[in-house]
Amino acid sequence: MHLSESDILRWLRETNESRIQTLYDTADRVRLENVGDAVHLRGLIEISNICCRQCTYCGIRAGNYRLRRYRLTRDDILACVQRAVTLGYGTVVMQGGEDYGISARWIAEIIRTIKRQTPLAVTLSLGERSDDELLQWAEAGADRYLLRFESSDAVLFARIHPPATGRETVDRIEQLKRLRSFGYEIGGGVMVGIPRQTLSSLAHDIAIFRELDLDMIGIGPYIPHPETPLGAKKHPGDPVEDQVPNTEQMTYRVVALARLVCPQANIPTTTALATINLAHGRELGLQRGANVIMPNLTPPEYRRLYEIYPEKACVHETDEQYYAHIAARVRSVGRFVGTGPGDRRR
């Protein structure tokens, strides 16, 4: 089924419940046919909450002076990596703020160590680093890079992602193309329901998922953070016509459409989704197109400090509890935990 951008937009505007259910069922079938019933687990290590950026939505933005900052040590990171191996995960994801206290060489050495000592795939999500640094990390053995482009509407993106002092702002969509040329599997994505995001711009974002032929697509609801410019406002400007609601239902719809435009992609059911529906968010994501979960492996004392949004799901569990809980949820929807790195299938 080929969906044009206007078909996508029609699906985003659809109000008929039984037609929406058809969309979910189709996404679930396309998921089964293309990536099967395995749910791959990626252990998320939040290596630093230090950030030079001022993204107006994000709780770890430089301007949030209330947040205590941390950076994991090399030993901390390698201990998390060992836990990933013990728990049987196939991938570790090192994510963080855009922290220039972290040198490219330091990360490269850690990547080489992981690659030497474990069979794990390594995913990075460290923001808009220079091509030089991104190349060094690819050469060190990093397999994948996650960089959500957040919105393809340049005006909206500039508004929520102001330039950092002394740094160029990169076009994230172009950056993803370069990352692919450096040999990475590439992951993009968006938040659903950022103030002033319109349904038609969201339809365009989804069309871009296909144009970029993304290997991974991260989609979560926008969750206001009170210590940010966007989240502190009760009324963030005049409501725009066509505003995307930051709801669970709209998020599932975007997950389902992402599956239809990129049938083979790895699509996580995100922690943000679990945060707004702790009881069923993860499972419903898995039943509406998703095939990946990213359990948190960050040491518990730092997990709550990686506060991109408040009340992040699962900050209170140990890794073992977390793993047991997630594996049970995977089984409860008739799926199984995948083994191996879970590369993009082609």
Q: Residue 19, CB half-sphere, CA atoms under 13 Å: how many?
A: 7
Which among 16-24, 130-138, 142-150, 209-217 is the span making contact with ligand SAH, rule CB under 6 A? 142-150
Q: Are 184 and 142 in contact (CB under 8 A)?
A: yes
Judged by CB under 6 A, does residue 150 bind ligand SAH?
yes
Judged by CB under 6 A, does residue 58 bind ligand SAH?
yes
Task: With CB under 6 A as the rule, give the number of residues binding ligand SAH.
Answer: 18
Q: How far apart are CA 124 and CA 317, in angstroms?
A: 24
Judged by CB under 6 A, does residue 95 bind ligand SAH?
yes
Judged by CB under 6 A, does residue 125 bind ligand SAH?
yes
What are the start-end ranges of the E strands in the chain?
Answer: 38-48, 91-96, 121-125, 144-146, 185-192, 216-221, 292-293, 336-337
Q: Are 107 and 129 in contact (CB under 8 A)?
A: no
Output the smallest distance, CB 172 to ligand SAH, in A: 8
By CB under 6 A, the residues from 165 to 184 that bind ligand SAH are none
Q: Helix crossing, 74-87 with 319-332: angle to 10°?
A: 40
Q: CB neighbours of 246 closer than 8 A, spacing ≥ 6?
A: 191, 192, 193, 194, 221, 222, 223
Query: Of these, 43, 97, 281, 289, which contacts ligand SAH (CB under 6 A)?
Result: 97
Output the smallest distance, CB 299 to ligand SAH, in A: 18
Output the smallest distance, CB 139 to ligand SAH, in A: 21
Which among 68-76, 91-99, 277-285, 286-294 is the span making contact with ligand SAH, rule CB under 6 A? 91-99
Q: SS3 letters for 220-233?
A: EECCCCCCCHHHHC
Output the smallest distance, CB 225 to ligand SAH, in A: 5
Output the smallest distance, CB 68 to ligand SAH, in A: 18
If you search the block for the tokens 């509890």, which residue do you land on?
Answer: 321
By CB under 6 A, the residues from 216 to 255 that bind ligand SAH are 220, 222-223, 225
Output the smallest distance, CB 56 to ligand SAH, in A: 9
Judged by CB under 6 A, does residue 148 bind ligand SAH?
yes
Q: How far apart are CA 27 and CA 290, in angstroms?
A: 9
Which among 36-44, 79-87, 94-102, 134-142 is the span making contact with ligand SAH, rule CB under 6 A? 94-102
CA 227 from centre of chain: 21
Amino acid at residue number 106: W
Q: What is the DSSP letter of 256?
A: H
If you search the block for the tokens 């985003």, which residue do you land on?
Answer: 12
Judged by CB under 6 A, does residue 127 bind ligand SAH?
yes
Output the smallest distance, CB 83 to ligand SAH, in A: 21
If you search the block for the tokens 């969309």, which residue do you land on?
Answer: 23
**Nearer residue to ligand SAH within complex by CB, 306 or 322:** 306
- Please choose, from the candidates 45, 90, 87, 111, the residue with its C-alpha nearest in 3D space to the C-alpha of residue 343: 90
Output the smallest distance, CB 306 to ligand SAH, in A: 8
Judged by CB under 6 A, does residue 309 bind ligand SAH?
yes
Beta bridge partners of 71: 48
Judged by CB under 6 A, does residue 308 bind ligand SAH?
yes
- Please choose, from the candidates 127, 124, 156, 120, the residue with its C-alpha nearest in 3D space to the C-alpha of residue 138: 124
If you search the block for the tokens 């993106």, which residue do you land on?
Answer: 157
Output the smallest distance, CB 197 to ligand SAH, in A: 12
**Nearer residue to ligand SAH within complex by CB, 127 or 285:** 127
Which among 92-100, 102-110, 175-183, 295-303 is the span making contact with ligand SAH, rule CB under 6 A? 92-100
Enumerate binding residues for ligand SAH (CB under 6 A). Answer: 57-58, 95, 97-98, 125, 127, 147-148, 150, 191, 220, 222-223, 225, 272, 308-309
